[in-house]
Amino acid sequence: MPGIKISAPSKSNLTATIKLNGSKSISNRVLVMQALAGKAGELKNLSNANDTTTLLRLLSNESDQILDAGDAGTTYRFMTAYLATSPQRNFLTGSARMLERPIGILVEALNEIGANIRYAGKEGYPPLQIGSPNFDFHDTPVLKIDASISSQYISALLIIAPSLPKGLRLLLEGESVSMPYINMTLSLMNYFGIEAMQNGTNYHIEPQEYQTKDIEIESDWSAASYFYAIAALSKGEVNLQLKTLYKPSVQGDAVIADIMHKLGVETVYKPDGTVHISKKTPTKLKDFEYDFTNCPDLAQTLAVVLAGLGIRAKLSGLQTLQIKETRRITALKTELEKLGAKIEITDDSLEILEGIKAIDKNNLPVIETYKDHRMAMAFAPLVLKLGTLKFDNKLVVNKSYPAFWADLKILGFGVK
C-alpha cells in the first residue's frame, strides 16, 4: 500500500467549512432495514465509506452463493443476520483479519431461533455457510445474549426481529457496551415504522413490516472527532464549520463535543445543521479520566490528543477495542511510544504517564496503521505538534472517510 506524508499548515489560525461524510453506522442500519422493507426510499447524504459501499454491493448481489465482506465488521455482522432469514444458501467470507474476529455469539443466537449457519473454518469465527432457516415457533422465541462483547450483535438481531414469523424477545445479560449504538438501532427502526417494547434491558418486537420512507442521514460524529482533535492541538485560533450535524443526535460519538469542551474547544449548534467549532486559548488541564464504554471509537482520538498535549490521563472502558480492525489498545501504545510517550495498558484501559516528545525531522518515524482507518485519522492531527509525520498506508481511511486527506488539504495541511 502507498504511504503518505503529512505536514502542518503554514498558518497558525485555521478556518474552513467541511462537508463530512454521512454516518456509516446510520447508513448501514438504514440499508438493511430498507432491504427488509423490499423497497428503498430516497437516501440523502448516504455514506460513501468502503463499509457502506461493501454492504450495498452485498445486498445487491445477495443471490450470489459466495459473498465477501472484506474487512467491514459491521457489514459482516449485519449480513450474517440478514442472510439467516433468507431461504437461499450463501457462503459469507471476509479478509484475513475478518476471519480472526469472533462471530460465535451472533451465530449461536441465530441458530437458537431457527437459523441454519455453520462454521466453514475455525469454530466461532468466519467464514460461514448460511442455509435456509426453520423458524418453527408456536410462540415468540426468547433469546438471552451477552451484551458485554459487542453491540453490533444485538443491533443485528433487533433489525431482523420484525421480519421473523413470531418476532423476537431479546434479553441482554451483563454490562452493555456501546449502548448508544443499540439506541440508534431502535430509533431508526421506529423511524421506519417498527414498534419495539422495552423493559430495562429486555426487548420485545412483534412481527411487523418496515415502511419505505425517505431519510437524510446525519454526518459522521466519529469523523467530526478528528477536527475536534485538530482544534485541541492547534496553537492558534480555530474556526471550523462542520455540515449536517445535530443536537440531539442518535450517534453516541456526539459526546465528543462535551469531552473536548474540557480541552478548551467550544461548540455552537446552528439550526441549519452546521456545527461551529472554535478555540482561542490552550487548555490548562493537567489530568484527564474518562470511561469510553459507550463511545469506544473516540478512544484513539482522545489518546493521541492527550499524549500530544502532555496531559496525564486514564482511558477506561476499552474492552471492545481489542477485537476491532486491529488490537487498538496495543497499537496505540506502540505508536505513541515511537513518539516518546510513556503508556501503560491493560485489556480494557490505557494510561498516559508522559506525553509525546519532539522528533528528529531528518529521521521521521513511520506511523503504522495496522490496516485500521482510525489509527491514521487519530494520529494525523499530531503534525500540529510535531510538524511532519509519515504513515504506512494512505488508502486505509477509505474504510470510513475516503475524503479525509482531501479535507485536511482544505485546512492547509500538506499531504504528499
Task: Render pLDDT for 82-134 as a digit per residue (tens, 0 to 9).
Answer: 999 999 999 999 999 899 999 999 999 999 999 999 999 999 999 999 999 99
pLDDT score recorded for residue 147? 86
pLDDT score recorded for residue 325? 65
How much is the pTM? 0.92
Beta carbons within 8 Å of 217's beta carbon, 6+ residues apart: 22, 23, 26, 27, 30, 43, 44, 45, 46, 47
Cα–Cα distance measured from residue 363 to residue 359, given in angstroms and rounded to the nearest whole number: 8
CA angle 50, 52, 53 (to 5 degrees): 65
Count of all residues that appear for the chain in the document:
416
pLDDT score recorded for residue 324? 66
pLDDT score recorded for residue 281? 83
Going by the DSSP 8-state scheme, the letter that residue 121 receives in this structure is S
Picking from 151, 92, 398, 408, the residue whose alpha carbon sits closest to that of residue 295 is 151
Q: Which residues are catalytic?
A: 297
Neighbours of 206 (CB within 10 A): 16
Where are any strands of DSSP class E within 38-165?
43-44, 66-68, 90-93, 116-119, 128-131, 142-146
Strand duo 312-316 + 349-354: pairing: antiparallel
Q: pLDDT below 70 — which residues of the chain?
A: 323-325
Partners of 267 in the β-ladder:
277
Match 485538530 to its residue by C-alpha cell. 230
pLDDT score recorded for residue 377? 98
Instruction: Give the domains, in start order, of the chain with CATH numbers.
Output: 4-22+218-415 (3.65.10.10), 24-216 (3.65.10.10)
For the residues of 238-262, what is the DSSP string, one character each?
EEEEESS--SS-S-GGGGHHHHHHT
Cα–Cα distance measured from residue 227 to residue 377, given in angstroms and rounded to the nearest whole number: 10
- Quickly count helices (H) and strands (E) in the chain: 13, 22
pLDDT score recorded for residue 323? 66
| C-alpha distances out from residue 277 to 166, 224, 245, 288, 294, Å | 48, 10, 12, 21, 23
Q: What is the pLDDT of residues 34-80, one digit of tens each?
A: 999 998 899 999 999 999 999 999 999 999 999 999 999 999 999 99
